[in-house]
């Protein structure tokens, strides 16, 4: 809901965005997807996944347009060989 609300949380995130340097990459970790393996989104242009129901229509219109990196996804996966991480170029990002 913070994507469409104005509150102290959203104001703080806006302030942080105005004072920090633009990062080269952001790694977000989610246990939301039901998968049989650990995976990383390897899409260069990941789509937003809307797998929720019953929220205000404005939330379904939020679209996170970002640049992904299959190369970086593989670099991360290779750092944890014992985890057998799958890089999935078709996976989107969770809302």
Q: What is the pLDDT along the chain (95 residues), one digit of tens a residue?
A: 888 999 999 999 999 999 999 888 888 887 777 788 889 999 999 988 888 888 899 988 888 788 999 999 999 999 999 999 999 998 888 77
Distance separating alpha carbons of residues 32 and 35, to the nearest angstrom? 9
How many domains would you assign to the chain? 1
In a domain, 16, yes or no: no
pTM: 0.74
In a domain, 19, yes or no: no
In a domain, 58, yes or no: yes
- Tokens at residue 84, please? 């057998």
Q: Which of 52, 27, 23, 31 is nearest to 42 (CA)?
A: 27
In a domain, 76, yes or no: yes
Q: Give every CB contact of residue 27 below 8 A, 6+ residues apart in sequence.
A: 76
Query: Domain of 48?
Result: 25-94
């Amino acid at each position: 809901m913070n994507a469409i609300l104005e509150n102290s949380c959203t104001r703080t995130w806006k302030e942080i965005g105005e004072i920090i340097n633009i990062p080269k990459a952001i790694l977000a970790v989610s246990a939301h997807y039901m998968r049989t393996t650990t995976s990383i989104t390897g899409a260069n242009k990941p789509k937003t996944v809307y797998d929720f129901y019953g929220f205000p229509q404005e939330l379904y219109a939020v679209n996170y347009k970002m640049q992904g990196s299959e190369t970086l996804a593989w670099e991360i996966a290779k750092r944890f060989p014992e985890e057998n991480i799958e890089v999935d170029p078709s996976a989107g990002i969770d809302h």
